[in-house]
Structure 1
Amino acid sequence: MSRIALRVSRMLPSMPGARSLSTTMAVRKAGGFNHGDLKPIEQAQKMPDFSKFDPIYDDISENSAVLELWRKQKAQEMGAQGAAAASSIDAMVRSEHKVFEEPEDFLVKYPKRPPGKGMQAATEGEMVWSEELLIPYEEFRRLAKKTLVVKRTVQMTRKGKIPSMYALVVVGNGRGSAGYGEGKSSEASRAVMIATRQAIKRMQHFPRYDNRTLYHDIEHKFKATKLQLWARRPGFGCRVAPMIHEVCECIGVQDLAGKIHGSRNPMNVIKGFFEALGTQRMPSDLAKARGLRLMDVNHVYYGGIEPTRTGERLRR
């Protein structure tokens, strides 16, 4: 029962010719008045039900305790017949007190939650949130998506060619977390959406030195693609292949140099780059393995190296 309804119920009886709420008060069959706001059932039955005019007063359909109390009172009234007609007690109580399952005329429209699993997007580039993505909606809104590969594929069968669309999407928050996903469908927009949802589910965190570059140089081979990645100073930029540059923007890597040898298939390059980032060895792990103490000279003695502009370098 809301506070407004309680105040109105206490004020109205003192006024001449006024009536109080019926569904917001507990009533009993005993004669006379009870303590507090309890009213005799004869007087309570004559009172109007304000919940039918304004659902803010009281939504009796959501108050299961009151409904259960009415069921018990009805069962006591019926006595021995109550056990035989137990299935019809609920219907009798609802019809007597005029309580409906879903009163369409007095529904309160609450704000709708973000689109869920059943609501799929048909437009390319539109990202749809649902609980199965296992990511909060606030974090989902900050994600950046890169559709890197969209191509038409054909499956050869004895009955002929079966065409389909393939998409590879990279999703990241720009703060070290990213993932890639692949999708196939008869339509390109559908394939992109499937790949996007898969990329969000596969997101993982990659450590970054100073939140800008790698901790050490990496050489990694993925199938016929060989990647060479070098950590660089602040302000160097990402001087890598276009596909790797797009992935770096999603992850948040700002200073990196790289080279690709062998196959330059964009799918192998992207997958190989994610595997290479996962092979980084943290300095703290190396220190524990060797039984040594770790000290970052750049931060301890020099306070970190900040990027400088070209004009400032010329002045010095």
Structure 2
Amino acid sequence: MSGIALRFARALPNAAGIRTLSATKAVGKGEQLFNNMMTVQQARKIPDFSKFNPIYDDITENSSVIELWKKQKAKELGPSATTATNVDALVRSEHNVFEPPEDFLVKYPKRPPGKGMQATIESDMFWSEDLLIPYEQFRKLSKKTLVVKRTVQMTRKGKIPSMYALVVVGNGMGSAGYGEGKSAEASRAVMIATRQAIKNMQNFPRYDNRTIYHDIEHKFKATKLQLWARRPGFGCRVAPMIHEICECIGMQDLAGKIHGSRNPMNVIKAFFEALTTQRIPSDLAKARGLRLLDVNHVYYGGIRPTYLGNRK
């Protein structure tokens, strides 16, 4: 008997083998409990909730019992059982089997794919609700796997090898993020890093949707980074790692130089920190109480590069 049915009534078998329900009422202290028995006709109208409660009962076991009833009924009818629909209807009427309503079914929350599904799509990006972004935005993301290397953890029992991956994800419209992942397999580490990068995405301000607002000097550990804003059509003349990140963010014109450590992991983290240190001119104008005038857009209409492919 299901837990939901027990909350409303108690099932008791009678001499005829028909399941009836009895309501139990608690009275004052010192008095005995009494049961109000229902008639057989009333009990037949109440469905058996124990067959359709996914929390307290085994659905697969109940379905196998129903299939056994159908086979037994088909043998009894013999040639008179013309279709399976008639057998199903007879079994449902005799054993009080009913279709549960939609509001009775328990709606489980959506979860990310299990281990079996992840094994088939480890090399690809897959969407789930825990990424906290809509599916329409997820389809526009581009992924760059920048670092994949083998690491070893030294213990007193020996070396424990693992794979490390660093992935950058962006939409090409000013938003990007990086993530790190570790696993025994390289593909699994890349997948973990990719999902972490999507969760760490943030928006970076871009001047004219192509470059940074001002020159930047930033230091991250032993890495010193210098970035300069450039004119339209200049291109991204930076280190290969930064060039890949610029494609994910949507930077088109940028120059940069790296001093000190050129560790790829430190360079990537230094570049992301440097972009967050930008000071937008409109915010400075509001803080000083001055009026901001963009000369490039007002007097020159925003200079755009002219590519050879667009010329007639």
TM-score under structure 2 length normalisation = 0.66
After superposition, give the CA deviation of every residue in 1:73-119 in whole Å (9 maximum; x if it has no partner): x99xxxx5349998993219x954752349xxxxxxxxxxx993433
SS in 2 for 1:244: helix
Corresponding residue for residue 248 of structure 1:
246
* Residues 1:249 and 1:115: Cα distance change in structure 2 (over 3 Å): farther
Corresponding residue for residue 292 of structure 2:
294
* Residues 1:83 and 1:192: Cα distance change in structure 2 (over 3 Å): farther
Are residues 1:116 and 2:73 paired?
no
Report the residue type matching 2:132 in the other structure: L
Corresponding residue for residue 66 of structure 1:
none
Q: Any gaps of 5 or more consecutive residues in structure 2? A: 1-19, 22-35, 52-91, 102-109
SS in 1 for 2:133: coil
Alignment partners' CA distance in 1, 2:45 and 2:186: 55
Corresponding residue for residue 189 of structure 1:
187
Alignment partners' CA distance in 1, 2:151 and 2:143: 23
What is the CA-CA distance between 1:289 and the residue it aligns to? 1.5
Corresponding residue for residue 149 of structure 1:
147
* Residues 1:125 and 1:249: Cα distance change in structure 2 (over 3 Å): farther
**From 34, 37, 55, the counterpart of 1:81:** 37
Report the residue type matching 1:199 in the other structure: A
Corresponding residue for residue 37 of structure 1:
none
* Residues 1:311 and 1:274: Cα distance change in structure 2 (over 3 Å): closer
Are residues 1:307 and 2:305 paired?
yes
* Residues 1:266 and 1:196: Cα distance change in structure 2 (over 3 Å): same
Matched-pair contact (CA < 8 Å) for 1:208–1:214: yes
Alignment partners' CA distance in 2, 1:130 and 1:295: 44
What is the CA-CA distance between 1:291 and the residue it aligns to? 1.3
Matched-pair contact (CA < 8 Å) for 2:180–2:193: yes
RMSD after superposition: 3.1
What is the CA-CA distance between 1:125 and the residue it aligns to? 3.5
**From 216, 219, 223, the counterpart of 2:217:** 219
Are residues 1:265 and 2:221 paired?
no
What is the CA-CA distance between 1:309 and the residue it aligns to? 4.5
Q: Any gaps of 5 or more consecutive residues in structure 1? A: 1-73, 103-113
Report the residue type matching 2:140 in the other structure: R
* Residues 1:309 and 1:189: Cα distance change in structure 2 (over 3 Å): closer
SS in 2 for 1:164: strand
Alignment partners' CA distance in 1, 2:155 and 2:45: 62
SS in 2 for 1:162: strand
What is the CA-CA distance between 1:236 and the residue it aligns to? 0.4
SS in 2 for 1:90: coil
* Residues 1:81 and 1:183: Cα distance change in structure 2 (over 3 Å): same
Q: How many residues align?
A: 225
Alignment partners' CA distance in 2, 1:129 and 1:221: 35
* Residues 1:88 and 1:227: Cα distance change in structure 2 (over 3 Å): farther
The residue correspondences of 1:121-136 to structure 2 (distance < 5 A) are 121-122=119-120, 125-136=123-134
Alignment partners' CA distance in 2, 1:251 and 1:305: 21
Alignment partners' CA distance in 2, 1:202 and 1:87: 58
Are residues 1:90 and 2:47 paired?
yes
Corresponding residue for residue 277 of structure 2:
279
Alignment partners' CA distance in 2, 1:141 and 1:311: 28
What is the CA-CA distance between 1:308 and the residue it aligns to? 3.2
What is the CA-CA distance between 1:142 and the residue it aligns to? 1.2
* Residues 1:183 and 1:87: Cα distance change in structure 2 (over 3 Å): farther
Alignment partners' CA distance in 2, 1:174 and 1:125: 21
Alignment partners' CA distance in 1, 2:308 and 2:228: 23
What is the CA-CA distance between 1:253 and the residue it aligns to? 0.3
After superposition, give the CA deviation of every residue in 1:239-269 in whole Å (9 maximum; x if it has no partner): 0000000000000000000000000000000
Corresponding residue for residue 46 of structure 1:
none
Structure 1 runs (4+) greater than 3 angstroms displaced: 82-88, 94-98, 114-117, 121-125, 308-313
Matched-pair contact (CA < 8 Å) for 2:47–2:98: no
80-89 or 274-283: bigger deviation: 80-89
* Residues 1:275 and 1:121: Cα distance change in structure 2 (over 3 Å): farther
Report the residue type matching 2:154 in the other structure: M
Matched-pair contact (CA < 8 Å) for 1:240–1:256: yes
Corresponding residue for residue 166 of structure 1:
164
Corresponding residue for residue 53 of structure 1:
none
TM-score under structure 1 length normalisation = 0.65
